[in-house]
Structure 1
Amino acid sequence: MSRPDLNLLVTLDVLLEEGSVTRAGERLALSPSAMSRALARLRRATGDPLLVRAGRGLVPTPRALELRDRVRGLVREAEEVLRPAEKLDLATLERTFALRSSDGFVKRFGPTLVAEVGSEAPGVRLRFLQKTKKDIGPLRDGMVDLETGVVEDVLPPDVLSTALFTDRFVGVVRSEHPLSTGKVTTARYASARHVHVSRRGLTEGLVDEALDPTGRRRDVVTVVDGFSAALALAKASDLVATVPERHTADLRRGMCSFELPFRAPEVTVSLLWHVRLDADPAHRWLRERVLGVCRFDGQD
């Protein structure tokens, strides 16, 4: 079955409104012969004459009267679909956005982000989801609107990103730990017992790569899958946690933080989203809020 020519809907709408082939042709910038051919096609498509002669004019058939309001509604809806989106009205915007990130990110930036979003768009809700693994599936299937993380590999073409901030690693211990006093040397740091963070369960990472040129190795005795878990263990034991400084600022309160005695590794935390949302005005506005919160925070 051949697909109907949807352009005929516009022609039918004008014909039924004008009740005249001549006037309809003038509105549509069509010649009388072209307009007559269009009417003939409409008659074949609908199986009805639609407009019939009555004296010197044309009158609609019952079928035409039945179709008139439906056709008008369809044409108006199509015009709305093909019209550029209206300017975003934050005061009336009602929408829920899902953001997937780590506990540290939410604790550090979440309160400010929630406050700013609430002040500009009171009808917007933010739903924070914990990031347990690196997987772009939730972005692709629409379960997640935005995600934060360190981009280690080249992203697929349907996932976009922008850098939020660069973070460097610091050492963290409980206030009674031996490393909380005196100068922290490479030897003292390496000889302590460490908790390592790896979602894949690895016992080495960026910190060990940075430590390697010194000829020392960390004594990693436990591995966890998140920075909050690493800091919780360090706070309750003599383990040393090595974590990103800005990312964990609030999580480290009440603990002793120190600069690493070797060149500290750095990571760039990025904001990720799916390409289908790139031009969405509300999504673009939220991206700008996240960028503003993270970058303003970095000026402290």
Structure 2
Amino acid sequence: MIDGHLPASARITRCVLFEENFVCIRDAKRARRKAQLTRDDYTDLPHALFSSAGGDGLPGAIDTMLARHGRKRRIAITLAHVVAVSFAIAGTDLVATVAERIASRFAASAGVSIAPVPYDVEAFTIDLLHTRRAAANPALRWFIELVNRVCKTL
């Protein structure tokens, strides 16, 4: 599995593929009127949330960071696929906080603009996770090494 923000497990081997940063995306036309988001803008605007777990109610990295500042965001829509987020916010007043590589890849085609998150947000890792037994399987070991090599080029 390739993912970020997953808890550690004694049964799983975790290999860091790369480090990633959060950025904000929003409709490009609305962003032209005001390029940078203030902290108030960020919490006042409705948010689109990517959650592969379907918005399970557990606080994510952004919500945890905002809570430390006594702030909260208003989630207006939850999407189960990260690629859908950019396209869902285009033409709306929604803002989303996503991984920088995803934002950069889809910004132009979706019609969204990228801006810094107006808070200090820690970088996170994207990890490859597999069972310890997978390393003993030559085909899976080959695949794991291939994914590692490809991610070094990103």
TM-score tier (shorter):
0.7 to 0.9
Which structure: greater strand fraction? Answer: 2
Counterpart of 1:214 in structure 2 is 69
| SS, match of residue 136 in structure 2 | coil
CA distance in structure 1 between the partners assigned to 2:98 and 2:20 by the alignment: 9
1:269 aligned to which of 102, 126, 129? 126
Q: 2:92 matched to 1:237?
A: yes
CA contact (8 A) 1:174 1:255 kept: yes
Counterpart of 1:150 in structure 2 is 4
2:42 aligned to which of 189, 198, 204? 189
Question: Which structure has the larger Rg?
Answer: 1
Runs of 4+ in structure 1 displaced over 6 angstroms?
A: none
Show CA shifts across 1:37-88 (max 9, x none): xxxxxxxxxxxxxxxxxxxxxxxxxxxxxxxxxxxxxxxxxxxxxxxxxxxx
Give the alignment's TM-score, normalised by structure 1.
0.45
1:285 aligned to which of 128, 142, 154? 142
| SS, match of residue 71 in structure 2 | coil
**Count of paired positions:** 150
In structure 2, relative to structure 1, the CA distance for the partners of 1:180 and 1:287 (3 Å cut) is farther
Q: Which runs of 5+ in 2 are unaligned?
A: none
TM-superposed CA distance for 1:176, in Å, is: 1.0
Counterpart of 1:171 in structure 2 is 24
Q: Which runs of 5+ in 1 are unaligned?
A: 1-146
CA distance in structure 2 between the partners assigned to 1:188 and 1:169 by the alignment: 17
CA distance in structure 2 between the partners assigned to 1:294 and 1:268 by the alignment: 12
TM-superposed CA distance for 1:189, in Å, is: 1.5
| SS, match of residue 107 in structure 2 | coil
Give the alignment's TM-score, normalised by structure 2.
0.81
Identity fraction in percent: 26
TM-superposed CA distance for 1:161, in Å, is: 2.3
